[in-house]
Amino acid sequence: MRIGMGFDVHRLVTDRELWLCGVKLEHEKGLLGHSDADVAIHALCDAILGAACLRDIGFHFPDTDSRYKGIDSCKLLAEVMRLIREKGYELGNCDITICAERPKINPHIPDMQLRLAQCMGCDVSQVSIKATTTEKLGFTGREEGIAAYAVALLL
């Protein structure tokens, strides 16, 4: 068994769509980034890559590469899964925590679990997603950005 952790932050801005765990949420702001800026998937990719000692998401998908401009992060996650399977690993389970003051994440968690399980080729029971506010403290509390943490266990 091997464990990995990941962390990511993206800035909230107007005129961007908000994508979290492969699901589009209705909100007046979205996350800024070279890809679709799905902060939760990026943290998850780093956790999985970390567990396999395969560097990080920026190493595999550099934001200077135009191929990844506006890309659906689910495609990056699917490629991360291909990389770890190539090394003989399989996902045990993963656990994601999203830190956001708004919008409410909890109603979307079942859809998010389903979407991530589809793109990782695993069972929904292997994908835990949690959400928290930071009690209006810090950049997430001021709604300047969204942060995400993830851990993954590989077998």
**In the complex, which residue's CB is closest to Mg ion?**
42
Nearer to Mg ion, 62 or 110 (CB): 62
8: contact with Mg ion by CB under 5 A: yes
Angle in degrees, 0-180, between the axes of helices 109-120 and 73-86, rounded to the nearest 10: 40
Closer CB to Mg ion, residue 6 or residue 109? 6
Rg (CA), the chain: 14
* Main-chain dihedrals φ then ψ at residue 138, nearest 5 degrees: 75, -170
Q: Count how many Cα atoms sit within 13 Å of the Cα of residue 61 in the half-sphere of its side chain.
A: 25
Total interface residues for Mg ion by CB under 5 A: 2
- How many C-beta atoms surround the C-beta of residue 15 within 10 A? 8
Nearer to Mg ion, 8 or 101 (CB): 8
Q: How far is the CB of 96 from Mg ion (least distance, A)?
A: 13
Does residue 42 interact with Mg ion by CB under 5 A?
Answer: yes
Which residues are near Mg ion by CB under 5 A? Answer: 8, 42
